[in-house]
Amino acid sequence: MNQSANQGFPLLKVEHLTMRFGGLTAIDDLSFSAAQTDITAIIGPNGAGKTTVFNCLTGFYKPSEGMISLTHPDRTRFLLERMDDFRICSKARVARTFQNIRLFAGMTLLENLLVAQHNQLMKASGFTIGALLGLVSYQPHEKQAIELARHWLDKIGLVERADDHAADLPYGDQRRLEIARAMCTDPLMLCLDEPAAGLNPKESDQLNRLLLDIRREEQIAILLIEHDMSVVMEISDHVIVIDYGRKISSGTASYVRNDKKVIAAYLGVENEEGQGAEVKP
Amino acid sequence: MTAAFSKKQKAVVKGAIISSLMAATMAFLLSIFMLGLRTKSAAGALVLEPRFTLVAGITVLVFSGRLLLHLFWWNKKALSSHSFKQPGWFEQLASSKKIGWFGQLALAQKLKGLGKHGGTIMIALCFILPLLLFFFNLKLGTGLPLRYWFDIATLILTYIMLGWGLNIVVGLAGLLDLGYVAFYAIGAYSYALLAQHFGLSFWLCLPLAGLLAATWGVILGFPVLRLRGDYLAIVTLAFGEIIRIILLNWYQFTGGPDGLSGVPRPSFFGLPFKRYGDQTFHIFFGLDYSSLHRILFLYYIILLLALLTNFVTHKMRRLPIGRAWEALREDETACRSLGINTVNTKLTAFATGAMFGGFAGSFFATRQGFISPESFTFIESAIILAIVVLGGMGSQIGVVIASVVMIGGFELLRNMEGLKYVFGQEFDPSLYRMILFGFAMVAIMVWKPRGLISARLPTIFLKTETAVSPSPQNKGDAQ
């Protein structure tokens, strides 16, 4: 649609973000931005602070310092560091998934996707009282919600299993269901915490196509943390590398891959005393 | 015979004997003090009466019981496969028991045969039951103690309603509430006090009592709902006790331990159930006066109140709020990440549950005509919670079954006259209700850890409507 108008438009701007846990500085003066309709990857070794960045963005942690601003296409600006976690999703339209999958295991796939549309449906049901007393017609809204759920189930190829428990799905399907659930909240930015973790090459390929599809059709920004280099290199427009809470490199995938600092962070550097290369596994 | 035993079987038998001996020793050590000695007041002094035969009996019972379990239940495969060309009947019995009683065929699945009409049939039965009993007495001359039966039915229905109310909080929203009886008390005292001071009628006070209980639910909930699991349980437990102690000590307002008496009875559209008066129920309908009218009326009130609770819960489960409650039970963090205001969602669950508790409380007050803090002790909360847990958290029909079995069972114990011939005249079976209750609890937790009815019916379907049996994955693992 108006892709050209919004291309490169900085949706998310993180400035001087710092997060301290007691004496430990998990994120140290990190600044970056993510453009709308871009896929931005945050990579880094274990314990570099990637998930902490996500938790700050989505309100699960309150950052010690710094500003996180999200500007909608209509120029409304939200300061995420001041908002409650659930408002970041409902008002600022940021959705996320979790490193360890957090589905509603005992509920069906369809129910999982309907819970994600809670706020719209709640309004449609007259905050329960309206629907209980029969003052509002809730059914059409529910039908709409089911249609949206069906659309996403179709996208992840799980329509057939709509009425099964989420816990009964294989691991890869659970991952994709979690993404579908996040998408049902109608986000402008989707934060994915290691979406390819534990997926086999085929599933990881499916995931790539799903993410590219989402970007193309929904015109939203995707921010992802990833270890799996095949995902990062293939689909991300922009890669940010962090180590010990600091940004050490950023740019296109091919650029960071050849950056000496990045290679050093991942593989270790030659010891200063010159005792040979120390290679981390 | 011994030659027929294989090495493995010998080991099994040896293990069984050792384990049984250990269990017997344990039973002996436990029972020697608790059962072996009995204090008896004789001639102004307290004397100890030894009962060593009892101890010996218990020990032998434990030993043989455990040995039998080892040989014929736990290890029956290892022992029966080879030399014990074992009776097929035993295997059959064992396996049929497994399927029929405790196995995967949950009661829900069986009830499914009755289809959707099962619930309707049960409700209809509840409505015509009293008339049926009347009919039996009048036409067939069975001479059933009607008043007693109606009283028990009313009592069971009260617990069903309380169970359904608590089911919203514990079963759906997953908030462990150990002080539910507080809302029951608030409802009861609200009605009694409003009626006493302002002369309001039962039908006006009923919604007010519900509203007040819900308000207290919110007042309690607001500061404590950010707590999780065990911490929430402790605070709600304390809340229940605080309410009871306030009722006990605020003498000027609540009458303290004396309670409130003379709580007005409900009227039938303004017609009181009195023997004398101008416009009373029996005169208006041209009937002879009978105290049963009022009892029957109370039965129908609680039946309707309970059905209202069920209906509202049933409706709410299919609305977004109900789904949010269940999602909250499954994973609170995920709920927040999806933009659900978890505090509000928990508060609505708490308030809705409290409201039904309040309704039940004001019904209790009008039925008894007298209330005191005695009726609202922790044990009530525990019984209601037990009904919900035993029935299967979140299952409406499970609550019904558990209430009927527990409350009806307690009553049944009172009437087990036959047991007196077995255990002697002094034996009072109702004294053993708590121990039986404990056994029932342990048994359910061993065989059906998720309660009697653990199948959950999804709230919405894309295609076909089927009950989804519980997945093997434990809820706790989601963390």
Residues B61 and B114 in one domain: no
Q: Looking at the whole model, is its pTM more than 0.80?
A: no
The predicted model gives B395-416 an average pLDDT of 82
Cβ neighbours around B14 below 10 Å, total: 10
Domains A1-93+187-281 and A102-186 share a fold: yes
Give yes or no for a contact between B433 and B413, defined as CB atoms under 8 angstroms apart.
yes
Interface probe for B, chosen from A55, A109, A163, A168 (most Cβ of B below 10 Å), is A163
Binned at pLDDT 50, 70 and 90, residue B4 comes out as low
Q: Which domain holds residue B27?
A: 1-73
Residue B383 lies in a domain: yes
A85 contact residues in B (CB cutoff 8 A): 336-337
DSSP calls for A229-272: HHHHHHH-SEEEEEETTEEEEEE-HHHHHT-HHHHHHHH--B-T
- Taking an 8 Å cut-off on Cβ atoms, the answer to whether A86 and B320 are in contact is no
Q: Whole-angstrom Cα distance, residue A277 to residue A83?
A: 46
Residues B279 and B348 in one domain: yes
| Per-domain boundaries in chain A | 1-93+187-281, 102-186
- Taking an 8 Å cut-off on Cβ atoms, the answer to whether B337 and A108 are in contact is no
Residues B195 and B269 in one domain: yes
Residues B354 and B268 in one domain: yes
Residues B132 and B63 in one domain: no
Residue B227, Cβ density class (10 Å: 0-12 exposed, 13-18 middle, ≥19 buried):
middle
Residue B281 lies in a domain: yes
Domain boundary among B73, B99, B131: B73
Residues B24 and B141 in one domain: no
Question: What CATH code would you report for A1-93+187-281?
Answer: 3.40.50.300
Query: Can you give the pLDDT at residue B352?
Result: 92
- Taking an 8 Å cut-off on Cβ atoms, the answer to whether A167 and B320 are in contact is no
Task: Please give the residue of chain A at the shortest CA–CA distance from B336.
Answer: A86
Residues B69 and B160 in one domain: no
Domain boundary among B18, B47, B73: B73
Q: Coil, helix or strand for B39? A: strand
Question: What CATH code would you report for A102-186?
Answer: 3.40.50.300
Q: Whole-angstrom Cα distance, residue B224 to residue B219?
A: 9
Residue B81 lies in a domain: no
Q: Where are the alpha helices (DSSP H) in B105-177?
A: 107-114, 117-135, 146-166
Residue B92 lies in a domain: no
* Residues in CB range of B132: below 8 A, 6 or more apart: none
Task: Please give the residue of chain B at the shortest CA–CA distance from A118.
Answer: B320
Within 13 Å, how many C-alpha atoms sit on residue B96's CB side? 6
Residue B157 lies in a domain: yes
Of A50, A33, A13, A39, the residue nearest A236 (C-alpha): A39
Look at chain B and report how many structural domains it folds into.
Answer: 2
Q: Coil, helix or strand for A40? A: strand
Q: Which of B315, B459, B460 sits opposite A132 (nearest CB)?
A: B315
Q: Coil, helix or strand for A77? A: strand
Residue B266 lies in a domain: yes
Residues B136 and B49 in one domain: no
> Could you read off the pLDDT of B76-132 as tens digits, one per residue?
666 554 444 444 444 444 444 444 433 334 444 444 444 456 677 788 787 878 777
Residue B433 lies in a domain: no
- Taking an 8 Å cut-off on Cβ atoms, the answer to whether B460 and A58 are in contact is no
Interface probe for A, chosen from B211, B311, B319, B463 (most Cβ of A below 10 Å), is B319
Query: Can you give the pLDDT at residue B79?
Result: 58
Q: Coil, helix or strand for A111? A: helix
Mean pLDDT of successive 10-residue stretches along chain A, which has 281 residues: 50 85 84 84 82 85 85 81 79 85 87 87 76 77 85 85 84 88 88 84 84 85 80 82 83 79 72 46 44
Q: Which of B338, B456, B459 sits opposite A116 (nearest CB)?
A: B338
Residue B26 clears pLDDT 80, i.e. is over it: yes
Q: Which of B319, B330, B348 sits opposite A104 (nearest CB)?
A: B330
- Taking an 8 Å cut-off on Cβ atoms, the answer to whether A146 and B460 are in contact is yes
Task: Give the length of chain B.
Answer: 479
Residues B121 and B43 in one domain: no
Residue B439 lies in a domain: no
